[in-house]
Amino acid sequence: VVKGSTSLTVVVFLSHRLSKATGKMVENSPSPLPERAIYGFVLFLSSQFGFILYLVWAFIPESWLNYIGLTYWPQKYWALAVPVYLLITIVIGYVLLFGMNMLSTCPLNSVNTITDNYAKSQQRKKYQEEAVPALRDVCISEVNQMFFLEAKELSTNN
């Protein structure tokens, strides 16, 4: 394990030196850095240790743990209860997210289906000939007239 970690950090150091030599900016890039390699390895080791500890706590009988001297550990009931609670929370989270979506949908008689603060306070740019018009929020009356009143002439021409 130690050999693997040293070779990994050597590889990361070399790639970091190479990218610095070519003059690239590495502050905000997602490329591997020595610090990131160390963080990742620490996380890996601690998660493995946590898992082994959880297995030890769940499987070794209480009397053996007391014999070693570890008397004040939580009840083994929690070794089953916590994973079950976590899974049920995830399932309820799906249902809750759907429910919150339904709650925050505007009712049909709300003004938010027509306009909002940004559309009300937008500035009108001057119309220039031969130029593409500026992007703006079109009033719903105009949109309706374009879709439903003029479509008759277009469809009868076709």
Query: For other proteins, which stretch binds (CB under 8 A), given 20-28, 55-63, 83-91, 138-146?
Result: 138-146
Cβ atoms within 10 Å, residue 9 = 14
Instruction: Tell me: does residue 135 bind other proteins (CB under 8 A).
Output: no
Task: Give how many residues touch other proteins by CB under 8 A.
Answer: 24
Q: How far apart are the first and last CA of the chain?
A: 75
Instruction: Tell me: does residue 146 bind other proteins (CB under 8 A).
Output: yes
Residues 6+ apart with CB under 8 A from 57: 65, 73, 74, 76, 79
Among positions 71-110, residues that touch other proteins (CB under 8 A) are: 105-106, 108-110
Contact at 8 Å (CB) between 11 and 37?
no
Out of 6, 71, 141, 156, the residue judged to bind other proteins by CB under 8 A: 141
Contact at 8 Å (CB) between 15 and 32?
yes
- 72 vs 127, which CB is nearer to other proteins? 127
Instruction: Tell me: does residue 150 bind other proteins (CB under 8 A).
Output: yes
Helix (H, G, I), strand (E, B) or coil at 90: helix
- Token pair 């976590």 is found at 86
- 71 vs 128, which CB is nearer to other proteins? 128
CA distance 5 to 128: 65
- 89 vs 113, which CB is nearer to other proteins? 113
Binding site for other proteins (CB under 8 A): 105-106, 108-111, 113-115, 120, 127, 133, 138, 140-142, 144-146, 148-150, 152, 154
